[in-house]
A and B are shown apart, each in its own frame.
Chain A
């Protein structure tokens, strides 16, 4: 995992202190959202960060863009340590990061016209004259499939899918090297999902982008990713190429996650699901956080947290498991 690393995250930890509750019950507890995550994202690749609610995938994405300051750990982006940057340095670095969120309507200011929304990142970074910015907005709108005639309308006049196109145009306005997309198609209908995924694939090819793609949807990750990181309880439990992770998983959690995905047609009366509960973010068990749900758990798993290493050595896939498949 070396060579052209655009982004490298090392030992990222993010803990959130729990607000003191009305009755002071929550005092002193900490939500351990991310517990030591390391990965590299290569130039031109799509890395999918997958996992279930509360696994820390969104926190990682936000920490990469410094929307959250990591508790500890380093985020190197284009050779700079983002965690050391302050105000102006951070603003300059963020020009090269585009952000796309799940709910396009709430991520677009309802009072701005679409042309202004798309050009706003350019205005913030002081790029071009206002006339040049408007021209750039036209060009981006055309690229994402928004009619030029609609550019003076406001977000509420557009459907969810169109709003997500606008959000994509806006994310690409400052010509970023990295786009962080957090569940970009999860709020969209099936027929619109594939349109937006296709647009993302198209933009990546044409503009040489790299994506950090966060999703809970295995099928979406399977369609778009070059490499995949599976997260569980604030840690990466499996990391590797999309073919390996999704088709030859080695971590028991990855396997359980893949088995739970319903398939189209013909799996009525499928094998029984595991009757276990997801982990709690405030109290994690000793050892491997997955051991209470794991069918292969042994005494060692309850005591020692496994490192993310290559099972058997030499392989491209990394897994954090004492007894990988």
Chain B
């Protein structure tokens, strides 16, 4: 394998399973650029990772870190004028970045599926639920519409919607938020995808409903053996589903590790700060008055004007001269644990 990004160090290539054995999805040196009036903005800047069949990869980061844009780029759904400016995405032997629109469309909804944050905007308000869920089968499997509707009822039952025979005739506005997201999930898994992209699928839902949807996704993954890329700003939600977690900051991957390892031994100062700063129930001791939380000073730097070094350096308590001079490469901090930081212990 050759790296398309000349700046990407070799360690990074190894970090992301560049050996390629058994990897379902391999993202290599992905770079996504949006032209803006104040110069090009690299929303995703040299991101490499891979997902094995049946594995759930969690991607966490704050607004604007590039986690959603990277997924949209992989699916060929980037909103113009955004464009992939470097890198490749290998899936089932093909480079998705170079695939023509028709071939990509045949993959999407079939082998590659996706669900987003807002189920209402993912559903057509004037088409019955059953037809929408069955549509995937009509398009990708050439199933007759009448049969597809029957299959849709079975799919709705599978995702935990009661009375599916009645529900297939209903419209999205007649369903609760949790049920709509279940219907979208039914649509996504209709063709038994090999890989499901879930971008903040529970962010718009209440916690009790969120717990149900997370359980459902994990159950479907276990049953069908599909892999999942689960994107969220919420560390706790990601930790509930993911086998492995990638932490992104300002368009780059700063850390990648198996889930338990990441939360027990976070190596990157940003990951550490993020874990310390997130309000967690029970962190404040019993009997103590409200006391201040740990916090990360400052805010994310403008990626267009950022210097050559680590993007987190300006907010980092451990930053030194070298951090501002050069971008730290991803290097091994433990077994399957990779961190992009000069200061992190390895």
Contacts and interface: CB of A to CB of B under 8 A. Distances in A.
Nearest to B297: A195
A101 interface: no
Nearest to A265: B263
A264 B239 contact: yes
B279 A262 contact: no
A143 interface: no
B176 to A, nearest CB: 6
B218 interface: yes
Contact of A161 (B218, B278, B289, B299): B299
Interface stretch (B34-42, B114-122, B206-214, B320-328): B206-214
A257 B207 contact: yes
Contacts of B273: 191
A243 B294 CA distance: 21
B293 interface: yes
B243 to A, nearest CB: 8
A216 B206 contact: yes
A183 interface: no
B240 A278 contact: no
Nearest to B260: A266
Contacts of B176: 277-278
A217 interface: yes
Given A190-B274, A201-B290, A263-B236, A273 B280 contact: no
Nearest to B232: A262
Contacts of B214: 262, 273
Q: Which of A161, A269, A273, A275 has the most CB of B within 10 A?
A: A273
B235 interface: yes
Interface in A206-228: 216-220, 222-226
Contacts of A25: none
B160 A222 contact: no
A223 B297 CA distance: 19
A270 B63 contact: no
Q: Which of A224, A259, A268 has the most CB of B within 10 A?
A: A268
Contact of A274 (B208, B264, B279): B208
Nearest to A266: B260
Interface string B275-295: 101111111101101111111
The size bracket of the interface on B is 35 or more
A222 B215 contact: no
B287 A269 contact: no
B62 interface: yes
A197 interface: yes
B233 interface: yes
A223 B259 contact: no
Contact of A218 (B62, B207, B234, B235): B207
Nearest to A218: B281
Contact of A190 (B62, B215, B260, B290): B62
B237 interface: yes
Contacts of A193: 277-279
B207 A261 contact: yes
A272 B281 contact: no
A217 B260 CA distance: 24
Contact of B235 (A190, A194, A202): A190
B209 A268 contact: no
A109 interface: no
Interface in A27-85: 46, 52-53
Interface string B39-50: 000000000000
A197 B218 CA distance: 33
B260 A265 contact: yes
Q: Which of B208, B275, B294, B295 has the most CB of A within 10 A?
A: B208
A91 interface: no
Contacts of B264: 265-266
A195 B281 contact: no
A117 B214 CA distance: 42
B277 A190 contact: yes
A305 interface: no
Contact of B63 (A53, A189, A194, A226): A189
Q: Which of A220, A259, A262 has the most CB of B within 10 A?
A: A262
A107 interface: no
Given A190-B274, A192-B299, A222 B279 contact: yes
A237 to B, nearest CB: 14
A125 interface: no
B296 interface: yes
B160 to A, nearest CB: 6
B246 interface: no
Interface in A240-272: 243, 246-247, 256-270, 272
A194 B215 CA distance: 29
Contacts of A52: 206-208
Given A190-B235, A194-B277, A261-B207, A273 B215 contact: yes
Contact of A247 (B179, B282, B292): B282
Nearest to B289: A226
A271 B277 CA distance: 26
B241 interface: yes
A304 interface: no
Contact of B240 (A246, A247, A268, A277): A268
Given A193-B278, A259-B211, A262-B239, 17 more contacts: A161-B299, A191-B274, A194-B279, A257-B208, A260-B211, A261-B236, A262-B211, A262-B214, A263-B239, A264-B235, A264-B239, A264-B278, A265-B262, A266-B264, A268-B240, A275-B160, A277-B179
9 contacts: A161-B299, A195-B295, A262-B214, A264-B275, A265-B264, A268-B259, A273-B212, A273-B214, A278-B176
